[in-house]
């Protein structure tokens, strides 16, 4: 790695704005350390998840991070290698490094949801390919290796032919990964709101929409010359792509929701889970956080105020940050809807409860993981040649 840095101009000494990222990462690590230590010492006992609600905050954030990482890289590789967008190719090291860090965060979070995460190697040695989770683990492993190889070549600035081949290979691999991630939920017959062939497609569209906003955010924050026509053309194109993907995903989700509610009498459990999302105690996470701040505001900016780079940055940031509300509403409301009438009253135990709300320990673990990601990302921006030249100076 020292050779990579020596081949390019070293970052200027002194404090830079990007240093705030790793500084905030250290703060987040310190804040979340107690939660992570409790998780490592006591297993899943400190978390609010249990037998009825085995997946909660950590799985929701895992899916959210996978959407961002896979979606941004799918769109980036498609635009660069298939549509031959030379402008976007200029930030290849930054996009690959961002995706690598986000993927590591996702894998750490999903590991925290496992009762014995130290047994992860069983999935490789005793693989059961009839299981979607086995496919997810193997695909994640292959994708991580492929992404690491791409990043290594991009940082060295060599092997452009091989890098292009790896980028093209990443397209079907990333597509399979995101579809399998959706299928893990879609094949659960006991959960009617999940159990639909449409869910993997929704995961794919959501990943592209959130990934497009992440790409736009990276360009608006880190592009070297924000006064150039190249920057203007690129941001406007990315804004249009992100806007149409968000509108398309919202329209499809709206049609599916209308169909479920209209047929509520035929499948009351599915309708009840959806009504919990739309009008339950956390209705605001859907209507205000996701629809209001995460869809309406960014879409208006993308199509009306796209010439203002500060508003574009704000719209992209809002979209990226608030997209986690989607995965939270996919995972949690379905699990807290009883599979059988009277199930919640059948037994009394803290791990046999349908009243799931993420507790402090779960939030502290998320804070720790995001702190780790911010520390790694900030140090990478500081010491690795991932930024456009002018941004490094």
Is 145 within the bounds of a domain?
yes
Comparing 4 with 237, which gets the higher pLDDT?
237
- Give me the mean pLDDT over the 51-55 stretch: 81
DSSP conformation class of 266? T
CATH of the domain at 80: 1.20.1630.10
Give the pLDDT confidence score for residue 267 in this predicted structure.
73
Q: Is the sign of the CA dihedral 124, 129, 135, 139 positive or negative?
A: positive
* DSSP state string for 225-254: -TTSHHHHHHHHHHHHHHHHHHHHHHHHHH
In a domain, 68, yes or no: yes
DSSP string, 181-205: HHHHHHT-TT-TTT-STHHHHHHHH
Residue 38 placed within a domain: no
**pLDDT score recorded for residue 187:** 85
pLDDT on residue 257: 86
- Residue 82 CA to residue 135 CA, distance in Å, equals 27
Global pTM reads 0.90
> What totals of helices (H) and strands (E) does the chain contain, helices first?
18, 0
Average pLDDT over residues 153-177: 92
In a domain, 69, yes or no: yes
Ordered DSSP codes for 62-83: HHHHHHHHHHHHHHHHIIIIIS
What's the confidence (pLDDT) of residue 300?
Answer: 96
How many whole angstroms separate alpha carbon 158 and alpha carbon 112? 37
pLDDT single digits (tens) 9-33 = 444 457 788 899 999 999 999 999 9
116, 122 Cβ separation under 8 angstroms? no
264 has a pLDDT exceeding 60 = no
Residue 274 included in any domain: yes
Q: How many domains does the chain have?
A: 1
Inform me whether the pLDDT recorded for 39 exceeds 80.
yes
36 contact partners, CB below 8 Å, separation of at least 6 = 364, 365, 368
Domain that holds residue 121: 48-358
CB 132 within 8 A of CB 187: yes
CA distance 42 to 40: 6
pLDDT digits (tens, 9 = 90+) for 214-243: 999 999 999 988 889 999 999 999 999 999
When comparing pLDDT for 132 and 338, which is higher? 132
Specify if 10 maps to a domain.
Answer: no
369 part of a folded domain? no
Tell me whether residue 15 is in a domain. Answer: no
């Amino acid at each position: 790695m020292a050779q990579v840095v020596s081949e390019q101009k070293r970052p200027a000494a002194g404090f830079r704005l990007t240093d705030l990222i790793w500084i905030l990462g250290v703060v987040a690590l310190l804040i979340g350390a107690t939660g992570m230590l409790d998780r490592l010492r006591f297993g899943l006992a400190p978390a609010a998840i249990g037998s009825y609600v085995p997946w909660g905050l950590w799985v929701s954030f895992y899916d959210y991070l996978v959407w961002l990482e896979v979606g941004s890289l799918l769109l980036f590789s498609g635009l660069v290698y298939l549509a031959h967008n030379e402008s976007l190719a200029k930030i290849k090291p930054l996009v690959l490094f961002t995706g690598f860090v986000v993927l590591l965060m996702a894998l750490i979070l999903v590991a925290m949801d496992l009762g014995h995460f130290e047994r992860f190697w069983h999935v490789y040695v005793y693989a059961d390919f009839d299981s979607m989770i086995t496919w997810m683990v193997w695909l994640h492993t292959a994708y991580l290796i492929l992404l690491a190889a791409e990043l290594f070549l991009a940082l060295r600035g060599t092997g452009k032919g091989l890098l292009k081949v790896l980028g093209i290979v990443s397209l079907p691999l990333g597509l399979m990964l995101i579809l399998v991630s959706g299928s893990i939920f879609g094949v659960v017959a006991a959960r009617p709101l999940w159990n639909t062939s449409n869910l993997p497609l929704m995961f794919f569209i959501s990943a592209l929409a959130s990934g497009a906003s992440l790409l736009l955010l990276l360009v608006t924050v880190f592009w070297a010359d924000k006064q150039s026509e190249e920057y203007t053309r690129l941001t406007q194109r990315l804004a249009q792509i992100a806007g149409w993907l968000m509108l398309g995903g919202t329209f499809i989700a709206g049609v599916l929701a209308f169909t479920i509610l209209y047929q509520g009498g035929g499948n009351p459990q599915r309708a009840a889970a959806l009504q919990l999302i739309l009008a339950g105690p956390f209705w605001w996470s859907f209507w205000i956080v996701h629809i209001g701040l995460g869809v309406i505001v960014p879409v208006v900016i993308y199509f009306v105020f796209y010439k203002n780079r500060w508003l574009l940055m704000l719209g992209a940031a809002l979209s990226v940050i608030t997209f986690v509300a989607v995965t939270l509403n996919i995972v949690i409301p379905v699990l807290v809807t009883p599979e059988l009438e009277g199930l919640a009253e059948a037994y009394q135990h803290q791990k046999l409860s349908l009243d799931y709300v993420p507790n402090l320990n779960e939030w502290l673990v998320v804070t720790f993981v995001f702190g780790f990601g911010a520390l790694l990302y900030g140090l990478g921006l500081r010491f690795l040649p991932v930024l456009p030249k002018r941004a490094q100076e």
